Amino acid sequence: MERIIVTGALGQIGTELTVKLREIYGEDNVLPTDIKEPVDSPLEGKAFEILDVTDREAMERIAREFKADTIMHLAALLSATCEKDPMLAWNINMGGLVNALETARALDMQFFTPSSIGAFGPETPKENTPQTTIQRPTTMYGVNKVSGELLCDYYFEKFGVDTRGVRFPGLISHVREPGGGTTDYAVEIYFEAVKNGKYTSFIGKDTFMDMMYMDDAIQAIIDLMEADGSKLEDRNAFNVTNMSLEPEMVAASIRRHYPDFELNYDVDPVRQGIAESWPDSIDASEAKRQWGFNAAFDLDKMTDTMIEAIQSKNR
Ligand code: AKB
């Protein structure tokens, strides 16, 4: 990785990933792109290109002109948004992915794209879900993610494109809030705890989903991309996670800072249904074994970091 182009760079992952990549690989060697201009973003005022990922020609032109050797394709709609407009989701998630893979093939680039715990479905084993297992998701997002995993493997096997990818759980961060995801409650809860001392969760009590702190997610992307390809048995769809949480656990961790924090519920049937179709906890042992995946943030460390960061923003 020397010259890196990032799609969907204004999103939750892209914003922090771009900042980190610039720190490591140099300011001028990372080109963030998104469909809109950066406003109120750490990416404002620096090199940036407008790119609609459904425009294949524009993607290849921007990558060619930048002399990119790596593409990190992050532009995608999240699970709940996909359910609102499944055809739009198909066009953006799959259309964008095919364009990014074709661009990588044409320009001989290394390739990263994230999959998700959304690639699993109700028939998947719920606990300690192995990396290779029955998937059969029941959401459009999940259908996109499984297809994407297979397509990335296909481009590696058939065309020799160095595709790599992980299945992310819910990602918790304070720089840029996610939008339209099922795991978003676990981000909102921190902002509301600091601002109002209470939160109404759209995900029900006792609903477990995997989560990870953003710094660990960013490090996982870099570690996988830097891993010696000859040692990888798999390329894509690595399970990564660091905790399996339900709302009361997050609330208990927050109460170490705000003892009166109140957690209420107003369950959204759509997002609850999606959450119930996903595993309770996934097994990340293949990522650990094959490329040394290692996450540093447990629940309390993540809570302390989130609360401190949100408080300092509000000061
Ligand atoms: C979502 O909830 O849609 C995402 C994900 C787990 O992929 N955060």
Q: Please choose, from the candidates 304, 195, 292, the residue with its C-alpha nearest in 3D space to the C-alpha of residue 250.
A: 304
Q: What is the CA radius of gyration of the chain?
A: 19
Q: How would DSSP label each residue in 199-238?
A: EEESS-TT--EEEEEHHHHHHHHHHHHHS-GGG-S--S-E
Q: Please state, as a whole number, how many other Cβ atoms lie within 10 Å of the Cβ of residue 308.
A: 13
Query: Distance from the CA of 53 to the center of ligand 1, in angstroms?
Result: 20
Pocket of ligand 1, candidates 184, 210, 242: which has the most ligand atoms within 8 Å of its Cβ, to mutate? 184
pLDDT in tens, the chain (315 residues): 899 999 999 999 999 999 999 999 999 999 999 999 999 999 999 999 999 999 999 999 999 999 999 999 999 999 999 999 999 999 999 999 999 999 999 999 999 999 999 999 999 999 999 999 999 999 999 999 999 999 999 999 999 999 999 999 999 999 998 889 999 999 999 999 999 999 999 999 999 999 999 999 999 999 999 999 999 999 999 999 999 999 999 999 999 999 999 999 999 999 999 999 999 999 999 999 999 999 999 999 999 999 999 999 988
pLDDT of residue 96: 98
Q: Are 240 and 167 in contact (CB under 8 A)?
A: yes
Distance 65 CA to ligand 1 centre (A): 33
State yes or no: is 258 an active-site residue: no
Q: Do the strands 4-7 and 70-73 form a parallel or antiparallel pair, or are they unpaired?
A: parallel
Is the separation of the CB atoms in 35 and 92 below 8 Å?
A: no
How far, in Å, is the centroid of ligand 1 from the Cα of 83?
A: 12
Looking at this predicted complex, what is its ipTM? Answer: 0.98
Specify the pLDDT at position 315.
84
Predicted local confidence at residue 274, as pLDDT: 98
Percentage helix, strand, coil for the chain under 3-state DSSP, each rounded to 5? 45, 15, 40
Q: pTM of the prediction?
A: 0.97
**pLDDT at position 179, please?**
86
DSSP assignment string, 141-190: HHHHHHHHHHHHHHHHHHH---EE-EEE-EEE-SSS---S-STTHHHHHH
Which atom from ligand 1 is nearest to the alpha carbon of 114?
Answer: 7
CA of 25 to the centre of ligand 1 (A): 28
Instruction: Please state the atom number of ligand 1 nearest to the C-alpha of residue 79.
Output: 3
Question: Among residues 25, 141, 185, 190, which one is catalytic?
Answer: 141
| Ligand 1 pocket by Cβ (under 6 Å) | 78-79, 116-118, 168-170, 178, 181-183
